[in-house]
Amino acid sequence: MQFKPATLFELSIVGQDHAEASVLATGICSDSRYVQQGDLFVARDGVNHRGIDFVVQAAQAGAVAAIVECSDSQVGEFDHVSIPVFHVDDLVNRTGVLASMMLGNPSHKMTIIGITGTNGKTSCAHYIAQALTALGKKTALIGTVGNGFPGSLETATHTTPDSIRLQQLLAGFYAQSADAVVMEVSSHALDQGRVAGVQFDAVALTNLSRDHLDYHGSMQAYADAKSRLFLGSESAGVPARIALNADDDFGCELAEQLQQANQSFFRYSINSSVPVDVSVKRSVLNSQGVTLSIALPRGDIHFDAAVMGDFNISNLLLVVSVLAQLGFSNTEIETAMAQVSAVPGRMECLAKVGFPAAIIDYAHTPDALEKALQAARKHCEKKLWVVFGCGGDRDTGKRAEMASIAEKFADKIIVTSDNPRTEAADEIIKMIMQGFSCVENVTQVSAREDAISMAVQLAGPEDLILVAGKGHEDYQEIMGVKYPFSDKHVIEGLMGGRANDA
């Protein structure tokens, strides 16, 4: 692969030993520890390290050139580097564009759908992939539960991979004849330019509520990061189709901004008083899921979907909005939506005769916990229990908020550990405890397995236990070590073998 920097961007050589350079790069890599012979090394700055500190290491590992974004005072640092070093402005966003070009612009050749929002990205992405697969489109997924084709997802380290890995995944899916890719786009990804160079055919917003304030600092900064997916950018353009949640304040703000920019979009709503493009005409929750009639601009559709919780109706509206905008007929949408079913670790029900039923869910924000408890309540005959904790090294402000939600919507609460990461589990629990106004129904059990076990032992057979926060995760991260751990396995063990899906 020929790397012709001058034709790509305004580039200038940094370092005196290379007045001019023509480089033949066979790959691209932004981590010196993984550089292979022939790679172009992208020396990007992060939260912890300066990229330029790894240029020498990358050259030793076989990089044929490096691109950096450096200040005038740093130029001298490259004088004696053995490979040409190019300066690139806006390196963060240009890395994705460059990786895309080097890999033949895979996102231009498939239908790419991006989902963002605080809660519901994984659920919606999986539902869209299930629907498109039912419509005969070979569809890959990129997100929290894994990357790949449904049924054979590879574990993911991030919800949205870095820009180079992302382009490599897209190129791999294209090589395997994918027609479409549905991906979750996290706010971190938008802030760090991970989706730069991706050409989206459709993008959609679930909702915006408190999360990730440790990283973004304020709700405004968090919202600004999310906005980038909808308002377009130099490196990705404006997406062709947009679906927004009209029940969400941020969704309404975006709609106003897009209207001012003369951009078209679909709005969906469960209960909006304002006219929208996609809305619910009738919904009936039953033990199998939900029966829905949905109004679309070109007529109503009706289907049954095997998902739980009112919040999932909102997710289904998003899916319908995307499918309608992609041009599928109402009949096709009805057929596809009937195939939608639960996602691992999202309102996943486990039941066995003689035991209280348990629901495993990934709610790890105040809003998600509220929605999950409200959904669980509808299936609970007697007492509703919740077992939850909060992740370490993440937004500390949500801890007490989650306690007050638990207090409001559950009858019995066991506070435990989630992924403490580098924090002390008991300190996190202390911060959660500060959010309760009364602790009469609250128990603290630090070890998650013991907490779940206590709930299963103490709950009556007609009670229901929501085990929140870790969903599909198969590990618990403590001080940098990921120990094998699965809420589902723990519950199944307590129930004496595989529980039946309820």
Ligand X SMILES: Nc1ncnc2c1ncn2[C@@H]1O[C@H](COP(=O)(O)OP(=O)(O)OP(=O)(O)O)[C@@H](O)[C@H]1O
Ligand Y SMILES: CC(=O)N[C@H]1[C@@H](OP(=O)(O)OP(=O)(O)OC[C@H]2O[C@@H](n3ccc(=O)[nH]c3=O)[C@H](O)[C@@H]2O)O[C@H](CO)[C@@H](O)[C@@H]1O[C@H](C)C(=O)N[C@@H](C)C(=O)N[C@H](CCC(=O)O)C(=O)O
Ligand Z SMILES: N[C@H](CCC[C@H](N)C(=O)O)C(=O)O
- Which residue ranges are tagged as binding site? 32, 117-123, 159-160, 186, 192, 194, 394, 418-421, 469, 473
C-alpha to C-alpha distance for 58 and 191, rounded to whole angstroms: 25
Binding residues for ATP: 117-123
* Residue 483 DSSP symbol: E
Secondary structure letter of residue 49 according to DSSP: -
Which residue shows structure tokens 């012979």? Answer: 37
Reported in sequence order, the residue ranges of 172-261 that DSSP labels E, i.e. its strands, are: 180-184, 202-205, 241-245
364 binds ligand Z, rule: CB under 6 A: yes
Q: Given candidates 94, 470, 472, 488, which one binds ligand Z under the rule CB under 6 A?
A: 470
Which of residues 380 and 466 has its CB atom nearest to ligand Z in the complex? 466
399 is a contact residue toward ligand Z (CB under 6 A): no
Work out whether 314 is an interface residue with ligand X (CB under 6 A).
Answer: yes
Enter the tokens of residue 218: 């304020």
In the list ligand Z, ligand Y, ligand X, none, the entry touching 298 (Cβ below 5 to 8 angstroms by class) is: none
Q: Summarize as ranges the residues that interact with ligand Y (CB under 6 A).
A: 30-33, 44, 46-49, 51, 54, 158-160, 162, 186-189, 215
If one asks whether residue 207 binds ligand X (CB under 6 A), the answer comes out as: yes
What's the rounded Cα separation, in Å, for the pair 233 and 198? 11
- Could you tell which of ligand Y, Mg ion, ligand X, none binds residue 123, using a CB distance below 5 to 8 A set by kind? ligand X
- Closest Cα to residue 412, out of 391, 432, 430, 438? 438
Pick from Mg ion, ligand Z, ligand X, none: which does 241 bind, CB < 5 to 8 A by kind?
none
Closest CA to 369 of 383, 389, 396, 355: 389
Q: Cβ(357)–Cβ(381) under 8 Å?
A: no
Q: Which stretch binds ligand X (CB under 6 A): 37-45, 58-66, 121-129, 291-299?
A: 121-129
Interacting partner of 250 out of ligand Z, ligand Y, ligand X, none (Cβ under 5 to 8 A depending on kind): none
What, of ligand Z, Mg ion, ligand Y, none, does residue 122 touch, CB below 5 to 8 Å by kind?
A: Mg ion
**469: contact with ligand Z by CB under 6 A:** yes
The runs of H, that is alpha helices, within 386-424 are 397-409
CA distances from 225 to 116, 160, 232 (A): 10, 14, 11
Query: Residue 368: which of Mg ion, ligand X, ligand Y, none does it interact with, CB under 5 to 8 A by kind?
Result: ligand X
DSSP three-state, residue 465: strand
Is residue 363 at the binding interface for ligand X, with CB under 6 A as the rule?
yes
Tokens 């498109």 locate to 132
The reply to whether 147 sits near ligand Z by the rule CB under 6 A is no
CB of 435 to ligand X, least distance (A): 18
| CB-side neighbour CA atoms (13 Å) of 17 | 11
Which residues of the chain form contacts with ligand X (CB under 6 A)?
A: 117, 119-123, 144, 159, 184, 206-207, 311, 314-315, 346, 361-363, 367-368, 371-372, 471
